[in-house]
Structure 1
């Protein structure tokens, strides 16, 4: 297995909470799980470190999943609110019928999903596809990275704070806006979608002066 494949699988595991923020990523254990030597594991960890998903000391030993502070989560959502609604116009201008159908299938699968991890995986795929439809790979890549950073915390929003049903229904409205080529409506829906998730998540966190970003993951 190549380092980029290992990196993608580890990133997915981090997004889905299999490796929670603060968790150690031990090269020997990972090499055993992926049935490879430590060399591709080390390279995969370097890739994840470059994306900001993990903290990796020189040499790779002692790598841990990045833990975000309350202020960092606020910054990530502020960035997403700046970037994602701006993609609405190119999405509706460039999106194809096949891509709209693919988005609708993902939303239907989310509505039927019984496991939170499966829902989170589908949610990432939904947003990744929607923003790739804009045809702006650098921007969609930035958004995918921000989503990867925030998704371990978004899981708490979905699993514990009741955000799952609302998010799924909001996705359906986004698909409808793309299908009708209504860029203004899509931008509004994306903004509302992010604000709802941001508010639920931040309201569940302790105040900044008492901030323990792992607290919501221990409950």
Structure 2
């Protein structure tokens, strides 16, 4: 796997800041301030922000600082509907097409998640969980499917993390993952479908629960959004 570029490294840090709520929905992502805080120049910071904008985590605005995106429950539900269809298709195709090495990669990610679950930060657990799902999609060996799945998954990144951190069901998640792994190893489409379907059903339930109780978790960002005189007008 190629090493991450500096903009990708910065994007990863900003993504984690968004997940943790350091950069809350509606908050401005100030290019100069964040670059100074991370000790980098503004050029890779600008590229990192564009990566997050492409993922749907931030919204670019002409001549003003970008802001952290906030999807509505309906937007999240619509995306989950598509994500579920893509992951169910991926599971079926992975049974048929995944190489032995690709299945071994999925097994290794799940083993690492199971081994480290109780000892690492919740964000690290979450990222392992997402890597598990992405590895299944890679096992489908359909680049178009992987591209579309990646775009939807990125858009749901924050909603999935917040719902997962509110509903940390360790035993259920690991049991479902292990069921999916066993089905892939046995090339058993029905088993993969059953465990993956059960796993994904809880996603919308958890997200709905999060939206229902989010005011109890953290206040919304309500600061007025003003033009940032520090930012140049974007090039056409």
Residue 204 of structure 1, CA deviation: 4.1
Q: If the length of structure 2 is used for normalisation, what is the TM-score?
A: 0.78
2:55 alignment partner in structure 1? 51
**Alignment: residue pair count:** 212
Output the CA distance in 1 between the equivalents of 2:136 and 2:46. Answer: 32
Report the CA distance between 1:85 and its aligned residue. Answer: 0.7
In 1, are the aligned partners of 2:53 and 2:60 still within 8 Å (CA)? yes
Q: 1:181-196 residue pairs with structure 2 within 5 A?
A: 181-196=187-202
Which protein is bigger by CA-based radius of gyration?
A: 2
Of the three residues 30, 34, 37, the one matched with 1:26 is: 30
2:203 to 197, 204, 208: 197
* Runs of at least 5 residues in structure 2 that lack an aligned partner in the other structure: 220-236
Deviations along 1:152-194, one digit per CA (max 9) or x if unpaired, are 2222332222333322221111111110111232233222211
In structure 2, what is the equivalent of residue 3 of structure 1? 7
Cα separation, 2, equivalents of 1:184 and 1:42: 46
Change in CA separation of 1:170 and 1:18 when aligned onto 2, cut-off 3 Å: farther
2:133 alignment partner, one of 127, 132, 135:
127
Displacement of 1:146: 2.0
Following superposition, the deviation at residue 2 of structure 1 comes to 4.0
Runs of 4+ in 1 over 6 A off after TM superposition: none
Residues 185-209 of structure 1 show CA distances to partners (whole Å, capped at 9, x for unaligned) of: 2233222211112123214433xxx
Decide which structure has greater helix share: 1
Q: Does 1:92 align with 2:95?
A: yes
Asked if 1:74 corresponds to 2:77, the answer is yes
Superposition CA RMSD, Å? 2.5
Q: Residue deviations 1:3-40, cap 9 Å, x none? A: 34433543455456554433432111221244332122
- Spell out, residue by residue over 1:17-67, the C-alpha distance to the aligned partner (whole angstroms, 9 max, x if none): 5544334321112212443321222222223212212111124x4212211
Matched residues in 2 for 1:18 and 1:134: separation? 36
Secondary structure at the residue paired with 1:55? strand
